[in-house]
Amino acid sequence: MNQVKAVFQGDFDLLENIKISPLSRGYTFSDGIYEVVPFHNNIPIAFDEHIIRFKKSADAMNIVFDESKVIDEMSQLIDMCDGNNGYVYYQISRGVDEIRSHIHNSNIEPEYFGYSLNYDFEDKKFKVLLCEDIRWGRCDIKSTSLLANTLMMNNAALKGCNEIIMHKDGIITEAGASNVFFIIDNTICTPSLNNNILPGITRDMSIKIFRKNNINVFEDNFSIEQLLSASKVWLTSSTKGMAEVTDVYSENHSIESENTLFNKCEDIFRTAFFND
């Protein structure tokens, strides 16, 4: 992980040289928000949409940030990255307290931190563990506070899985770091957005391009049983793109490998996502 280009409080440096205060609320309380913006051939994918969501998360957290600084620094990080394909991770945290205190000073200044990483958007398949969604009530905010996600995903990793699909009161919400789609009776389904789901940029892009190509997408509440009856399941995110799920564990459930509608969606998605 050497030579990763990063920025912290306006200073560009290698990631390994960046130091933060232990009284950063990002460190003590996970009091921050973030975005992951993929780029292909040095061009950011859905940049505006990521910035709009950043602002929504910031508004929900009462964090005021300098939007043009963030856009400029993210663009510079993309230019500085060794590879042409990758992603920028950018986080804005509340700031540094004088001493740890749940209630922060009203004049606290946000901390800006980002880095870019060379990354191959290769096709990856996922084995997921189905589990109860134990997260807080505002999963629509892209907060750095991801303890429940990491807990559940590491538990899944011990069982040989590389993602999870969560359900709340029997209703499917999303995956640990992605949104969920599936095909039932030749119809594309995805859970409708609410406070328990992050409004994924890749999810939104997928729905729009599928509909533009006259493929119906049905957004609703879906039960565990409906997910398990699907002929194909996939995940979407800025780093996964559109990634097939091969197995849903805990139910010992394998999904059939060939599906023409899925193949068609994958072609449409790749063209839109990578603009090729």
- Binding region for ligand PDD (CB under 6 A): 36, 174, 177-179, 198, 200-203, 236-239
Contact 60, 138 (CB under 8 A): yes
Q: Of the two residues 24 and 196, which places its CB atom closer to ligand PDD in the complex?
A: 196
Helices marked H in the chain — which ranges? 25-28, 47-60, 67-80, 147-158, 201-212, 224-228, 260-274
Closest distance of CB 142 from ligand PDD, Å: 7
Cα–Cα distance for residue pair 139/141, rounded to 1 Å:
5
Closest C-alpha among 87, 83, 82, 76 to residue 11: 76
Minimum CB separation from ligand PDD for residue 132, in Å?
A: 15
Query: What positions carry a catalytic annotation?
Result: 142
Nearer to ligand PDD among residue 116 and residue 179 (C-beta): 179
The residue behind tokens 């030749």 is 186
Residue 192 host element (H or E): none
DSSP assignment of 103-162, as one string? SPPTTPPPEEEEEEEE-------EEEEEEE----S-TTS-BS--HHHHHHHHHHHHTT-S
Please report which helix (H) or strand (E) contains residue 247, including its range. strand 241-249
- On whether the CB atoms of residues 32 and 25 are closer than 8 A, the answer is yes
How many residues are listed for the chain in this entry?
276
Closer of 144 and 226 to ligand PDD (Cβ) = 144
Nearer to ligand PDD, 34 or 262 (CB): 34
Least distance to ligand PDD from the beta carbon of 199, Å? 8
Quote the least distance from Cβ 141 to ligand PDD, whole Å: 11
Please identify, using beta-carbon distances, which residue of 7 and 88 lies nearer to ligand PDD: 88
Tell me how far, at minimum, the Cβ of 203 lies from ligand PDD, in Å: 6
